[in-house]
Structure 1
Amino acid sequence: MSVLLFWLLALLLFLMAGELGRRCGLIPIVSQLLLASLGLPLLMLFWVEPHWHLDGAALIAPGWLQTLYGASFALLLGHILGDVVALRLDRESLKIAVPSFLVPFFAGLGCGLWLLADQPWLSTLALGLVFAITAIPVLYLYLRHIDYPPDATRRLMQSAILIDVTCWLLFGLGQGSLNPLSLLLPLLIAGLPALFYWLRVRKPGVYSLVFLAVLFIAEHYQLNALLCGIGYLACMAWLKLPLRMPLSSVWLQRLQNGVAIPLILTFGIVQIDLQHVLAGFDAVQLGALLLLPIASKLLGNWLGLSWATPSFAGASKWRESLLLNIRGLSEIVFLNLLLQQQLISPALYFALMLMSLVATLLPAVAGLHRIPSNTVQPARRPYAEH
């Protein structure tokens, strides 16, 4: 009963934080990251552990919670991968994306060789990808909320999609390279749309529901969820079948913000031994984990935006560099994936979560976060219309 009460309390706190953030003009993910990085650790340290006598292992042990976590993970990863397949490559987006990926990626590899010398090479690769990743859904929200010009929005979104599809593919292939035979099952699963098409199944909703089920099963049985998901969507794209989530965009956003994101954030945070969380890092190492990803990403963004032609007259490279540095949802899912597979330590997870919070708050601090009072969720994303 205490475990259930904790999770209900956590969801309520996220709901309250989101409402408070909305009144302050913050988009939901900023409020959620603030609560997860600052509020939940204090709740665990000063109340849950000493008074309820519950640690992280007990809080994530129930089978129903594992099922709910898997469903939330599938929903969020499916949403991100659905954005990834919206890629429409053009030269200017490519000019932005190449330095924006390569500079932080190599900085992350160097940091991994320094901090993770005794870890598998896949952990070092993953750290490089964490440095490089951009949060597609959160970037889109920022751009929409500041009424960014449609053509400039589309170009930044396509750059972010190109960066993220590179990150997801490299990590998926890196996982598969450890056990080449493990690539076979995800590739077979990825071909399910072709089987359904051959069986004359034509309803897009069936393909989309199976897609989410595939991600859930892959996460539950420790299969390569990334290759399953990307391969499945690539097969759907080859068959010219659209991805349609089973819920409307309004209800999907409510479910993500009200349940899925809070649960995934809390699931990761409660596994951290808060009393010894940063014992493995000295001040220099912690500073590097907080500042190097942001600095290298901003440098890469600046170089890419300098290489490409301005998106519109008066476009600010500084503003666009900050926007492309946003982390948020994509990084949360990626970090939880790494933590669950024990590729990063809880201490490293927490440090990178703090970095993600700072990076996502930077546009807000720079005044790019205000939400118009009459904002309405659009039915379609502007970058997916072409």
Structure 2
Amino acid sequence: MNTTEIFLIAMLLIFTVPYLVWRIFKTDYYAPLVIIQIIGGILLGPGVLGAAFPEYHKFVFAPDVVKALNGIAWWGVMLFVMIAGIELDLKKVWQYRRESATTASFALGMPLVCGCAAALLLLGYQGWKGAKGLDWQFTLGVGMACAVTALPVLVLLLEKLDILRQPMGQRILRYASLDDVAIWGVLALILLDWERVGRQLGFILAFGVLTFVFRRIMARLQENDRWYAALIWLVICSFGSDWAGLHFMVGAFLAGVVMDADWFDRATLDTLFKHVLLILMPVFFLSTGLRTKWELGGYSVFFVGGLLLLASVGGKLVGVHIAGRILKWKSGEASIIGWLLQTKGLIEIIFANILLDKQIITNETFTALLLMAATSTMLTIPVVHPKLNRSAHAGLVQQASS
């Protein structure tokens, strides 16, 4: 077979297998389609399918095919997070800057501290720290992996829960976006890449200047021209962000954040969002899993995965509850926001992959982080959905009594 035919076989697997599992086993409540796609990518990757059927895996997921899938995946997720950024009201970000900064700080800081504590415990045992990792790099790397929030998956879950455009959904996006920028900045420090740190500062300054120019140009364009200008702006921001070491997804999200939703027709924006979600995002979720290399590492990896899950979820919930106390949130809000922000998904896997490539962590630690990421994401909908229902019911009761 030629490369095109093999590529189509891979696409058939990507779209067919997760959908059938999701539909036949009716997993939507505890494992939405996006979760099945993430797990499907991991299972179709070299760690499971590649280990069981190495020749078949090498045939279907040949380097040329994987490169083609990665290109589709990158473009799809760039569009997806740009639209999520457009949904975020920049004026409200500035209006609620104290609340956003306070919540983001505690939501990132507490799971970071708890994850670092778990990493310090692991340093006492052989087999968890990578061959080239220093103690502080391992500790901070694992801690930050516990603090990550997966922005693309979070947007999907907010959409599924029908709160993406509601005030709470917008607040959660604000908190997660601030933490996302911080996470990739800390990664540069972990890798001791001081050139990258300088590039990040340069990107932030250049982005601020170019945003001022871009917004003035967009305000003068017709809507049809705005769509082309938006795509050009998306590519520029994503390139600059990735060049600076902040990851192209951060740039794509920032590209959308500085655009006003009322520049575009709402129906067209909704249609684009749904088409990207249907056509492109499954390729992203599965292709990321296809790049995941891991080894099981014995039963101890499950214990460590549970320890990291406790540090991640517990730290996030404690941090958000502290922020809620300081900011005097309504009862129940901190729990809902905390559970949504603890969603890990693919960002944590990408982050952990980098640590593994740099030999800061071992395959066993990576597997534990992988298990933590999958479990934390699967917990989100079953925990948050009833909490939202109770919150909505309490609101209706309060309105009726008043």
TM-score by length of 1: 0.70
The 3 A distance-change label for structure 1 pair 344 and 102 is same
CA-based RMSD: 4.7
2:320 to 291, 301, 313: 301
Tell me the equivalent position of 2:35.
30
Measure, in 2, the Cα distance between the counterparts of 1:238 and 1:27: 30
Distance 1:173 1:214, change over 3 A: farther
- Matching residue of 1:354: 371
Are residues 1:15 and 2:19 paired? Answer: yes
Counterpart-to-counterpart distance in 2, 1:63 and 1:215: 27
Question: Structure 2 matches for 1:29-108, cutoff 5 A?
Answer: 29-36=34-41, 42-46=48-52, 48-49=53-54, 52=55, 54=57, 62-76=63-77, 79-80=80-81, 83=84, 86=88, 88-89=93-94, 90=96, 91-108=98-115
Change beyond 3 A, Cα 1:177–1:99: same
When residues 64 and 212 of structure 1 are mapped into structure 2, their CA distance, relative to the original with a 3 A threshold, is farther
What amino acid is the match of 2:33?
P
1:203-243 C-alpha deviation (Å, 9 max, x unpaired): 44444434554588689xx8445267656876897798999
2:72 and 2:283 in contact (8 A); partners too: no
Asked if 2 retains the 8 angstrom alpha-carbon contact of 1:34 and 1:357, the reply is yes
Candidates 119, 124, 129, aligned match of 1:116: 129
Normalized per residue, the structure richer in helix is: 2
Asked if the contact 1:338/1:344 (under 8 Å) is kept, the reply is yes
Give distance in 1, aligned partners of 2:190 and 2:251.
15
| Kept in 2: contact 1:92–1:309 (CA 8 A) | no
Change (3 A) 1:144 1:14: closer
| Greater mean deviation of Cα atoms: 90-99 or 188-197 | 188-197
Which stretch shows the higher mean deviation, 249-258 or 115-124? Answer: 115-124
Q: Which runs of 5+ in 2 are unaligned?
A: 390-402
Deviations 1:97-138 (A, max 9, x none): 222110111233344453437515655444332211223343
The offset of 1:258, in angstroms, is 2.8
Correspondence for 1:368: 385
Give identity over the alignment, percent.
Answer: 20
Amino acid at match of 2:272: S
* Mapped contact 1:37–1:354 kept (Cα < 8 A): no
1:164 equivalent in structure 2: 180
- Number of residue pairs matched? 358
- In structure 2, relative to structure 1, the CA distance for the partners of 1:185 and 1:144 (3 Å cut) is closer
Which residue in 1 is equivalent to 2:394?
none
Cα distance in 2, alignment partners of residues 194 and 111 from structure 1: 41
Point out the more displaced range, 68-77 or 33-42: 33-42
Alpha-carbon distance in structure 1 between the residues aligned to 2:387 and 2:43: 22
SS where residue 66 of structure 1 aligns? Answer: helix
Shift of 1:326: 1.7
SS at match of 1:362: helix
Q: What residue is the counterpart of 2:308 in the other structure?
A: 289
SS at match of 1:179: helix
Equivalent position amino acid for 2:231 in 1: L
Residue 356 of structure 1: CA displacement?
Answer: 1.3
Amino acid in structure 2 at the alignment position of 1:167: I
Matches of 2:353 and 2:272, distance apart in 1: 26
Q: Are 2:355 and 2:361, in contact at CA under 8 Å, matched by a contact in 1?
A: yes
Query: How far does residue 359 in structure 1 lie from its aligned partner after superposition?
Result: 0.9
Contact 1:214-1:228 at 8 Å conserved across structures: no
CA distance in structure 2 between the aligned counterparts of 1:351 and 1:283, rounded to whole angstroms: 6
TM-score, normalised by the number of residues in structure 2: 0.67
Partner of 2:272: 248
In structure 2, the residue corresponding to 1:248 is in which secondary structure? helix
Counterpart Cα distance in 1 of 2:75 and 2:191: 18
Conserved 8 A contact 1:145-1:369: no
Counterpart CA distance in 2 for 1:306 and 1:319 is 14
Q: Would the aligned equivalents of 2:116 and 2:139 in 1 still touch at CA under 8 Å?
A: yes
Q: For the Cα contact (< 8 Å) 1:191–1:235, is it kept in 2?
A: no
